[in-house]
Structure 1
Amino acid sequence: MPTTRVSRTLSLLALGFSALSGAAHAQDCTTKIGAVLPTSVDWGRPIAETAQFAVDQVNAAGGAAGCQIEMVLRDTQVDPKVGVDAAKALVDLEGVKVLLGAVSSGVSMPILTSVTVPSGVMQMSCCSSSTAFTGLSEEGKTKGLWYRTFATTGVQSAVGAKVAADKGYKTVAILYKNDDWGQDMARLIAADFAAVGVEVTASVAINDAQPNYRAEVTDALSGQPEALYLALYPAEGTAAVREWLSLGGTQNMILANSLKSDEFRDNVGLQYLGSALGTDTASPRSESADAFRAAYQERFGSEPNGPGLANSYDAAMLALLAMEAAGKDASGADVAAAMSRVTDPNGTPVSADTSGFAAAKELLAGGGTVMFQGATGNVRFDANGDVSAPAVVWSFSEGGTQEVQYMSLNDVDAFMASLN
């Protein structure tokens, strides 16, 4: 290792240990941040627990902006009205200036437009991918208060089309959730299927809480497609797939990352999912991503295989870093504006853990900037608060899921360019 690199590493470690030693003497105060996440569903609880993991690590480093952090968590039930009510309570009653969430674009959007933007609260989502947010930002309607650590639906859509092309499917039917996210996915995937020469025989919306989905599935089956694309969540996904199979539908399925769920696998039955392939954004093949996996396994005793876990960790850690950079009593707009100081490509690299946060505190206090190296890599936001990401194709296994194919960020960008 070159001498200069050794020196910088030792300096950073010294900064980290110095700040850690002062953690016990942190200010006797608490700052609340809000979190609106779907804790009532099995795949949502780990997302919330991972955000809390990041908060715990920050508190071990002395907290953010001079205070310990309390994450006040509310369940959205993946329901827009419930999510909006929860967000309003956190903003109006708890006084939070930073809100983590939500998971579904259909929940995040009304929270953004009716709660966080009007109240001047920064909203950081781990798991909302609709391109509608990009359009809203381009129109100036997010006021710079919106960030997300999950890549847009464009990535998953493109990779889904690649799966269909690689498998040689010529016809595909689409079942999608009738909300902002599902509508966005259905629109994008239809265009991407067309770009790779795959015909969409039917595109059918699925609404929540119906007694059954026989009419919708019958409609999707009418064109006798070779495969089925599913942009659904586990509850309605399970019901729709059971109807699909009972009516003789093919087991050739392409799944959005929302179905990367033990609940969905177990309720449908692994024996019926042997030909199913899912898509998801992925952590890069990097040291920081490996470090997160090791830390997660130590904390929770399992691999971070569920949807959105790495993204949830980075969302929480970045929000807290921005709070640190903005200083005590900062407004939501101040915190959002400080995001550039903690994701600076020319800043000093800091790791995503307690010692990394401690080092960042010292660097920021000295007027410097940092480059956060997190569970999803070196996070860089564009002008709309969006990120890009590598991708993965996965399949279900006895223990959860397994990787079938990894696509680097360059691979993803090149394939998406080819579609255009």
Structure 2
Amino acid sequence: MKHILFYISLSVSCILTSQNVVHNTGNLKIFNDGQIGFHIDLTNDGNFDQNEGLAGFYSDDTRTISGAFKPVFNDMEIVVTNDLFLDVAVGITNNNNFILGDVVTPRNATDINLDFINYAFYNGDGNLTKVDGYAAVTDKYNFSFPVGDADKIRPLYLDSETNNNTAKSAYFYEDPNSPSTFTKTFNTDNFADILTAVSTYEFWHLEADTNSKITLTWDDDSSIDSFTDTIEDLRIVGWNKTLNIWENLGNTDITGNFSSGSITSDTFVPNNYDIITFGSSLSAISTNFENYFVSPNNDGVNDFLYFKEVSLSPKNNNLRIYSRWGRIVYDKDAYNNTFGGIANVSGVVKAGNALPDGVYFYILNLKDVNIIHQGYIYLGKQNQ
């Protein structure tokens, strides 16, 4: 404690105190092993971002951090009965210890957040000890955002292929059709062909510009059983900013039941989507699940998508092929093994044009034998 007391004694002209606020207008630093406790509000209009020790915020009521500049603490602990409110972003470079109370940030200002920098982490998170609003990361590949709304924590786990210079997330326990802090609405009846429903109970906002997977959790209040009959049909869905439609972001792993569980998406770029929530997809029964490679390059090998099962129902069948985001690109009754990478439905590309290389999802319905066959296609060109 000697270090911090000594430093403050040199900078006393830069600190103004009143009954309710500590106001920094100069240069402050908590040195190694130093500690400072704030039992009143903090306003930071100076330099307070090179700290090495512990800053604690304590109150039986509420506390607020405000000011023109972002304070950055090495370690921070929160023991504030009625929550710590941020009117300016606060950075953490080592550990944030949630003991009592939420960190509350404005939901209409993503730049005001609790920012976990580099190797920073947290502990003590729970329904009443979390970030109610926006949490952020700086220079991280993966992170579990300890976000929630009111008395509910609903973390979002981000797993990126490359480093995020910055990423931000918040959870909203509200209907996407009438969000409280967004300037647009997100019609849950407007979704890609492969989807059957979108949740009207909750959503997350995530800002990140790298290829990523995310994992979301649900509980009883998510009412999963109101829009899907089976957990296996649950999907993560996102509102495409450009197309203004809900798209399927996948389901690469899922555990749990209707009361609680978690689901992991396919890889996508979060900044392409305004918000993210749960949805459900077309149900399908697979009997010999297979994936296929199609390389339409006229070499006589895998030029067309071939199903031997078509012979079981040659005239009374239907093949649908979807992009990885759930947009239909091919729809054919009486399919006869002639798909060679050309769309017959406009959307991803104009009907009659070649589809981009990549992964597609198919559903083959053999109606005479009551079999629905599903799987994935990798469309690519080889030996050209």
Which TM-score tier does this pair reach, normalised by the shorter chain?
under 0.3
Structure with more strand by fraction = 2
TM-score normalised by length of structure 2: 0.23
Structure with more helix by fraction = 1
Which structure carries more relative contact order (alpha carbon 8 Å, separation 6+)? 1
TM-score normalised by length of structure 1: 0.21
